A = this chain, B = another copy of it.
Amino acid sequence: MNAIKDSVHDYIGLDALAEDLVDAPEMQRLRHVKQLSTVRLVYPSANHTRFEHSLGVYHLAARALDHLEIDGDRARHVRAAALLHDIGHGPYGHQTEEVIRRRTGAHHDEIGHLLDGTEVAAALVAHGLDPDRVAAIVRGEGELGQLVSGELDVDRMDYLVRDAHHTGVPYGTIDTGRLVRELRYRDGELVLAAGNVQTAESLLLARALMNGTVYRHHVSRIAGAMLERASERLLDAGAVGVDEFRRMADHDLLVALRDHVPDLGRRIERRDLYKRAVWQPLAGVPADVVEMDYEAARAAAAEIADAAGVDPDDVLVDVPARPRFTESRTRVVVDGAVRRLEEASELVTGLRAAERTQWRLGVYAPAAATDNVRDAATEVLGLAETRSGTGE
A-side residues, CB < 8 A to B, are 3-8, 10-11, 23, 25, 28-29, 31-32, 34, 40-41, 43-49, 51-52, 55, 165-171, 173-175, 177-178, 181, 194-195, 197-198, 201-202, 205, 209, 212-213, 250-252, 254-255, 269-271, 334-335, 345-351, 353-354, 356-358, 390-392
Contact = CB atoms under 8 A, between A and B. Distances in A.
B7 A168 contact: yes
Copies in the complex: 4
Contacts of A209: 198, 201-202, 205
A57 to B, nearest CB: 13
Contacts of A41: 31
A32 B353 contact: no
A191 to B, nearest CB: 13
Given A5-B167, A11-B181, 5 more contacts: A6-B168, A28-B269, A31-B44, A346-B356, A346-B357
A interface secondary structure, majority: helix
Given A40-B31, A171-B175, A45 B6 contact: yes
Nearest to A30: B44
Given A31-B44, A205-B205, A173 B175 contact: no
A366 to B, nearest CB: 15
Contacts of A31: 40-41, 44, 271
A240 B202 CA distance: 44
